[in-house]
Amino acid sequence: MKWLKKLLYFIVPAAAFILSMYLTIDIVLKGQETTVCPDVRGKKVEEAKEIAGGKGLSLIILRYERRNDVPYNHITVQKPDANIVIRKGRILYVIVSEGPQLVEIPTLTGQPLEKAAEMLGEKLITIRKTIYVPHGKTGRVIAQAPRGGSTILEQGGVTLIVGSEQKPYYMLPVMTNTNIDALLDEMEMKKIRYTIEYGKNGQITGRTGVRTSIPPRTIFNNDNELIININTGGQI
């Protein structure tokens, strides 16, 4: 029985120590308030500090790093991670981008293309693409993307839609030697460029006929030069 008493002398103090330590830890943990760690990535440092303070946390910047895809003074990385439960009073460590700057895109609608390019250059914004569409405001910006007033990173680009000359389109009829004169008069009136060639290698042969470089019933505009081959005899 002596060995049992010795065993109890050892077990009872050890159990009491473990129980007291558990109760102490439980009381301490229950006494600490917790919060959900906010997501401050993409926020400005000043805004992130306000958000962290509202959660009972403090914020410290670990370092700055160059990021071309994240604006200056915006947070790129945070520790602890967002949306996990942490105790209040902890420090939220962040890494911050040191460039480039965010700039506001000017409103370019109605501006001549040259003036629009100058306005964008002053903001360090490039023209990514220029699309020309027929419009009454030839040479002027009629739309842009992104729109004026929105923000973009320095060295970013915009797409401009610019008015171009409105060109009339025509459909070439079937031409014969009986309507050639009337058609030539119409093309002169509409300022359609054309060239007339006679026969094969400039020779007049026996069989009559008219051929054109643009097939009949084809739509074209006055940028296209029409070649009319007239054969007054033989085959072309």
Q: pLDDT digit string (tens) for 113-159?
A: 999 999 999 998 999 999 998 888 999 999 999 999 998 888 889 99
Q: Are residue 174 and residue 227 in the same domain, yes or no? A: yes
Specify if 152 maps to a domain: yes
Residue of 146, 143, 98, 110 lying closest to 125 (CA atoms)? 146
Cα separation, 24 vs 20, in Å, equals 6
User: What percent of the chain shows pLDDT beyond 90?
Assistant: 43
The parent domain of residue 196 ranges over 169-232
Residue where a domain stops, chosen among 74, 99, 124: 99
Residue where a domain stops, chosen among 133, 164, 195: 164
- Let me know how many helices (H) and strands (E) the chain has, helices first: 4, 15
Specify if 9 maps to a domain: no
CA distances to 95, 123, 188 from 200, rounded to whole Å, are 79, 61, 25
Output the pTM of the full model: 0.47
CB-facing half-sphere around the CA of 155: CA atoms within 13 A? 7
Residue of 134, 132, 143, 133 lying closest to 110 (CA atoms)? 143
Q: Are residue 128 and residue 141 in the same domain, yes or no? A: yes
At 51, the amino acid letter reads I
Specify if 62 maps to a domain: yes
Residue where a domain stops, chosen among 139, 164, 189: 164
Specify if 16 maps to a domain: no
Q: What is the mean pLDDT of residues 1-9?
A: 55
